[in-house]
């Protein structure tokens, strides 16, 4: 069923492990970070520079591309890889997360458990999710079958089953009902995937169940029992970092370890070390490229100006006269060329180059982090490496 | 006086010529195009990618840097080259053009002879120009001596004497008076330049005189008689292309041909061929990078969709389904990676990458144009080359 795909574990240390995911567009050495090219572009960064800075895989969001320019348009252009000029592995999500999170409020609201956004979600029933297009307000319906058809047209290597994203604020009964609907939708996704399978794509199942260990166990069992290529940990992970780490650890313990395991939407440095310690293989998050657009440059522990942040804010006035690169030991084009003082100036002068330059650094930072983590797992010194980075 | 600078003519065909300008930061093969990094950055383009696409020299605007972050700030950062990460030849203008053109209205208004902008120029007297800072509205004075001190602090290889930019709408008497003031200011610039000369910079004189051939002749003689390293053709060149070409031709005829000759602020493809035919060595213009930000991609004659434009507008709906690169025979990173359809999509989706990608193409386009012009001058087939490009 997944004859052009493979996952091999190559080293391990405790539950942490190194592996290789083989796809028709190349290999992904894990642990790996998946960069967000939400609207078919990692904002401001050439595909060539993604590759040069060690990027193995990028994702695009089905929800955004479904709304514009449309999956059929991209299929006619030769598929997502050809359309965007990226010939390495790609992942698309199911579109569900955006519909629900934009429906409940902003993604940030959702992650933080707030509920004050204006809904664009019209209603959800057993069939699927009805919502208004963010482009033109037209009514749209996304179902498991439609999500799979859209992802098939987009043509990414890795695809994700359509699930219901359970809001944080609901109780256990509602979480369980939502999880069960997710399982039915994921089953329909898998059936649709199998029906149209041409061996160019592989499918991830998603584990739901919120913060409830017994539900997580049941959901992991559901994913294990169905012929997904890989597993993704989704849904609400709790209201604190500690709870998130506990939920992730409890979930991964129940999963089939012969399959790759992805943690959806998490990308902080500490979070990554915790996730890897629990057995996570891949991560994705908009964080590295999003903070770049606000002047945030990711730095290792020794370069930080504040204990509560994993980045420095180059807009701060102290950087106006700082002639050092973002990180003295970074080999990225930005650190080889520009000082913090110049980047500070570019941000203050509203110059476009600031955003691209900081994004390129943050991409290199995440890739270098994952490289060092892979080396550390193989050589058994993950703890020392963590001390340097987190 | 200019012991670290040299200009050698290496080939010629009629009045058109090839040459080499030697500077402390490397050589410039002429004819050459000077790219505008107005606020110390060619918008959205890494210095490394400027170099990789054949860029020889960039300029920054004294007016903008004087207002923010200040010349002294850049001097303390090690000068402009170090600050921006560009180790090739650089030019700064005198700041005069921006003060006057922003004072009379927009630069475009000024070039086109309109007069409807809001003035930020307070007054001009023999001392210099009083104006309000665009940053904070504070009153500022720019004089020939101050312009030279600012350009010295910035540290570009090539600097320009401070002149008065004569508006288009004035009569011959006012044009002559303005030209004479420019000559006095340029002489003061030169005196100040000589006083502080440390052999790291060279100075351009500017020929004024508007559209009046006798004034242009007098102004050219003034520039020739003073020990400028090179000559620049400035001021109003007329209201039509034909008048511009006539004024440029008449001016260049009067200039010392042992010196490089720059045409200020002109960068259309046809304009460049006309200028080169008249004996111009270097050009600068915001056009290639400015139109990129509006979806305009420069293309050779065969790729155009409209006879009156030297670029295609990638926002046009026909490009949504055009799977070709901007130019099939272009070797730039954008044309090697992206289709017109993808660039069209990025523009419509407001994705940052569109602006950078089109700018990179336009930079490569201009550099390739100048490369082919240099070859054509050496081999005597400038006319055939012009037929392909204009």
- The token duo for B369 is 């144009």
Q: What is the DSSP string of B138-186?
A: -EEEE-HHHHHHHHHHHT-SEEE-------TTS-HHHHHHHHHHHHHHH
B355 and A352 in contact by Cβ < 8 A? yes
B355 neighbourhood in chain A, CB within 8 Å: 352
A333 and B78 in contact by Cβ < 8 A? no
Clarify whether residues B281 and B165 are in a common domain. yes
Stretch B184-190: mean pLDDT: 98
Chain B interface test: which of A71, A344, A351, A357 (most B C-beta within 10 Å): A351
Closest in A77, A348, A355 to B323, CB measured: A77
pLDDT for A114 equals 44
Domain holding B131, by residue range, is: 6-30+61-285
Within-domain flag for A121:
yes
Closest in B77, B320, B342 to A341, CB measured: B77
Clarify whether residues B19 and B168 are in a common domain. yes
pLDDT tens, residue by residue, B257-287: 999 999 999 999 999 999 999 999 999 999 9
Q: Which of B157, B163, B281, B284 is catalytic?
A: B284
Within-domain flag for B56:
no
Within-domain flag for A326:
no
| Residue A117 confidence (pLDDT) above 50 | no
B85 touches chain A (CB under 8 A): yes
CB-based contact A262:A281 (threshold 8 Å): yes
Tell me which H or E stretch contains B58: strand B57-60
Share of chain B above pLDDT 70, in %: 96
ipTM of this complex prediction, to 2 decimal places: 0.94
Of B234, B252, B285, the last residue of a domain is B285
Looking at chain B, which residue has its C-alpha nearest residue A135?
B349
Q: What is the pTM of this model?
A: 0.94
Stretch B243-248: mean pLDDT: 97
Clarify whether residues B86 and B215 are in a common domain. yes
pLDDT for B117 equals 40
Within-domain flag for A96:
yes
| Residue A219 confidence (pLDDT) above 80 | yes
**Least confident piece of the model among A113-127, B76-90, B337-351:** A113-127
Rounded to an integer, what distance in angstroms lies between the CA atom of residue A214 and that of residue A220? 10
Distance of CA B216 to the CA centre of its chain: 20
Looking at chain A, which residue has its C-alpha nearest residue B42?
A353
Sheet with B121-124, side-by-side order of all strands? B121-124, B129-132, B139-142
pLDDT interval class at B153 (50, 70, 90): very high
| Residue A254 confidence (pLDDT) above 60 | yes
Clarify whether residues B324 and B270 are in a common domain. no
Clarify whether residues B128 and B186 are in a common domain. yes
**Least confident piece of the model among A86-100, A107-121, A293-307, B304-318:** A107-121
Stretch B242-253: mean pLDDT: 97
Stretch A364-384: mean pLDDT: 97
A296 touches chain B (CB under 8 A): no
B348 neighbourhood in chain A, CB within 8 Å: 68-69
CB-based contact B182:B163 (threshold 8 Å): yes
CA angle at residue A7 from A60 to A162, to 5 degrees? 40
Clarify whether residues B233 and B320 are in a common domain. no
Beta bridge partners of B22: B6, B27
pLDDT interval class at A92 (50, 70, 90): very high
pLDDT for A167 equals 76
**Least confident piece of the model among A268-277, A300-309, B49-58, B319-328:** A300-309
Looking at chain B, which residue has its C-alpha nearest residue A67?
B349
**Least confident piece of the model among A136-140, A332-336, B335-339:** A136-140
Looking at chain B, which residue has its C-alpha nearest residue A355?
B44
Looking at chain B, which residue has its C-alpha nearest residue A77?
B323
Return the number of CB contacts < 8 Å for A and B.
Answer: 107
Clarify whether residues B201 and B238 are in a common domain. yes
Clarify whether residues B261 and B336 are in a common domain. no
Clarify whether residues B354 and B256 are in a common domain. no
A294 touches chain B (CB under 8 A): no
A338 and B41 in contact by Cβ < 8 A? no
| Residue A140 confidence (pLDDT) above 60 | yes
pLDDT for B298 equals 98
Clarify whether residues B13 and B102 are in a common domain. yes
pLDDT interval class at A116 (50, 70, 90): very low
Stretch A200-214: mean pLDDT: 97
B349 and A47 in contact by Cβ < 8 A? no
Of B285, B300, B325, the last residue of a domain is B285
Neighbours of B277 (CB within 10 A): 19
Within-domain flag for B380:
no
Tell me the shortest Cα–Cα distance from B124 to chain A, in angstroms. 28
pLDDT tens, residue by residue, B74-133: 999 999 999 999 999 999 999 988 888 776 654 444 444 444 444 478 889 999 999 888
pLDDT interval class at B134 (50, 70, 90): confident
Within-domain flag for A109:
yes
Share of chain A above pLDDT 70, in %: 96
Tell me the shortest Cα–Cα distance from A321 to chain B, in angstroms. 7
Chain B interface test: which of A75, A85, A340 (most B C-beta within 10 Å): A85
Residue B93 designated active-site = yes
Within-domain flag for B48:
no
Split into its structural domains, chain B has a count of 2
Clarify whether residues B225 and B123 are in a common domain. yes
Q: Which DSSP symbol is given to A301?
A: G
Within-domain flag for A107:
yes
Nearest Cα to Cα of residue B266 among B241, B303, B294, B300: B241
**Average pLDDT along chain A:** 94
Q: Which of B93, B163, B271, B281 is catalytic?
A: B93
pLDDT for B119 equals 47
B41 neighbourhood in chain A, CB within 8 Å: 346, 349, 351-353
Using CA atoms, how far residue B44 sits from A84, A121, B359, in Å, is: 19, 37, 8
CB-based contact B357:B343 (threshold 8 Å): yes
pLDDT for A267 equals 95
A68 neighbourhood in chain B, CB within 8 Å: 348-349
Tell me the shortest Cα–Cα distance from A38 to chain B, in angstroms. 10
Clarify whether residues B128 and B215 are in a common domain. yes
pLDDT for B115 equals 41
CATH number for position A113: 3.20.20.105
Closest in A85, A321, A349 to B39, CB measured: A349
């Amino acid at each position: 069923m997944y004859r052009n795909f493979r996952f091999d574990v190559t080293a391990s240390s405790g539950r942490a492990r190194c592996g290789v995911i083989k796809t028709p567009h190349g290999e992904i050495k894990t642990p790996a970070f998946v960069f967000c090219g939400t609207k078919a572009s990692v904002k401001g960064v050439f595909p060539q520079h993604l590759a040069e800075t060690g990027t193995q895989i990028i994702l695009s969001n089905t929800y955004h591309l479904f709304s514009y320019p449309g999956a059929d348009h991209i299929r006619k252009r030769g598929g997502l890889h050809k359309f965007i000029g990226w010939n390495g592995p790609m992942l698309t999500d199911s579109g569900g997360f955006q519909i629900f999170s934009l429906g409940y409020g902003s993604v940030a609201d959702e992650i933080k458990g707030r509920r004050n956004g204006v809904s664009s979600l019209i209603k959800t029933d057993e069939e699927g999710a009805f919502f208004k297009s963010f482009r033109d307000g037209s009514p749209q319906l996304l179902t498991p079958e439609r999500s799979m058809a859209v992802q098939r047209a987009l043509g990414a290597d890795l695809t994700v089953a359509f699930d219901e994203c359970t809001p944080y604020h609901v109780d256990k009964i509602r979480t369980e009902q939502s999880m069960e609907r997710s399982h039915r939708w994921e089953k329909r996704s898998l059936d649709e995937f199998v029906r149209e399978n041409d061996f160019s794509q592989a499918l991830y199942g998603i584990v739901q169940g919120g913060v409830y260990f017994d539900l997580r166990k049941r959901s992991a069992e559901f994913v294990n029992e169905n012929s997904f290529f890989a597993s993704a940990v989704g849904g609400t992970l709790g209201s604190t970092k500690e709870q998130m780490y506990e939920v992730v650890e409890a979930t991964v313990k129940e999963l089939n370890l012969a399959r790759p395991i992805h943690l959806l939407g998490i990308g902080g440095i500490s979070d990554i070390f915790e996730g890897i310690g629990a057995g996570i293989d891949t991560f994705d998050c908009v964080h590295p490229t999003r903070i770049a657009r606000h002047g945030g440059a990711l730095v290792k522990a020794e370069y930080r100006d504040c204990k509560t942040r994993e980045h420095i804010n180059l807009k701060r006035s102290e950087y106006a006269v700082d002639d050092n690169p973002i990180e003295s030991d970074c080999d990225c084009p930005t650190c080889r060329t520009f000082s913090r003082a110049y980047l500070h100036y570019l941000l203050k002068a509203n110059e476009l180059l600031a955003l691209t330059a900081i994004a390129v650094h943050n991409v290199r930072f995440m890739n270098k982090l994952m490289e060092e983590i892979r080396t550390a797992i193989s050589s058994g010194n993950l703890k020392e490496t963590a001390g340097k980075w987190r």
